[in-house]
Amino acid sequence: MNALALALLLQSAVAAEPAAVASPPVDPRASRAPDLVEVITLDPSLRTDVRYATANNFTGRAVYAQARVFLQRPAAEAVVAAHRALAEHGYGLLLFDGYRPWRVTKLFWEVTPREKRDFVANPARGSKHNRGCAVDLTLFERKTGREVAMPSAYDDFTEKAAPDYAGGTAEQRAARDLLRRTMERFGFSVEPNEWWHYNCAGWQEWPLLDVPFEDL
Ligand SMILES: [Zn+2]
């Protein structure tokens, strides 16, 4: 068997490998009752581009039935506050993703090759997205509505996605760093390898959920 055939065989083996668990893990620290709110209802001047509801994402297919972004209420309110604070710089927030049903995290794990799994959550532990306490977002320019260029695209699974990546243009890095400073001011922390992913403070207190959007 040549190397290419072997690589393809391994890839299909990875894709076919089911996750070992069938339901979201229960976190004993999670004491709060879910209070998911659709973020844009709190401020309709936010923008959304829910690529997981389209085929334009790393899986190549729609994994959400609806293009909506939900977060636990305190996180949603903090996103709105950050969005309003960015207005003085001429920017607003463009939301890619928030609460993610656990079954979708499981699907991401199953379709992601082993060497890229640092970029997806292990369903055995779950994702902060499953808690409604992580948000993927970027900046848009208020004047034009255009998405602001960053050192990498959203869901770029390379070193360019690191929040401290030194490449790209000075302008792109400045935009990425302004996003980070602003989100940190409102209680979020950036994911170490994804400039677009922010976790809300106290994420441990929210349970991992598997409720589809259409049931919210
Ligand atoms: Zn994320």
In the residue annotation, 194 being an active-site residue is answered as: yes
pLDDT of residue 10: 40
Asked whether 85 and 143 are in contact (CB, 8 A), the reply is no
Residues ≥6 apart with Cβ < 8 Å to 42: 76, 77, 80
pLDDT of residue 125: 93
Distance 92 CA to ligand 1 centre (A): 18
Question: For the structural domain made of 34-215, what CATH number should be given?
Answer: 3.30.1380.10
pLDDT of residue 9: 39
Cα 81 from Cα 66, distance rounded (Å): 25
Distances (CA, A) of 136 to 16, 23, 75: 28, 24, 12
Amino acid occupying residue 99: Y
Cα 4 from Cα 142, distance rounded (Å): 47
Distance 136 CA to ligand 1 centre (A): 5
- Spatial CA neighbour of 52 closest among 113, 106, 98, 111: 98
pLDDT of residue 20: 58
Amino acid occupying residue 158: T
Catalytic residue among 38, 191, 194, 205: 194
Residue matched to tokens 């991992």: 208
Distance 87 CA to ligand 1 centre (A): 24
Beta strands in the chain (DSSP E): 36-38, 47-48, 70-72, 91-97, 134-141, 188-191, 194-200
Residue matched to tokens 């890839």: 11
- Strand pairing class (91-97; 47-48): parallel
158 backbone dihedrals φ, ψ, rounded to 5°:
-135, 180
Distance 134 CA to ligand 1 centre (A): 6
The one-digit pLDDT tens for each residue of the chain (216 residues) are 344 444 443 444 444 444 456 889 999 999 999 999 999 999 999 999 999 999 999 899 999 999 999 999 999 999 999 999 999 999 999 999 999 999 999 999 999 989 888 888 999 999 999 999 999 999 999 999 999 999 999 999 899 999 999 999 999 999 999 999 999 999 999 999 999 999 999 999 999 999 999 999
End-to-end CA distance of the chain: 50
pLDDT of residue 11: 45
Distance 50 CA to ligand 1 centre (A): 12
pLDDT of residue 119: 83
Residue matched to tokens 């309110």: 77
Cα–chain-centroid distance for residue 75? 14
Residue matched to tokens 């499953």: 130
| Token pair listed for 199 | 């976790």
Distance 132 CA to ligand 1 centre (A): 11
What is the pTM for the complete model shown?
Answer: 0.88
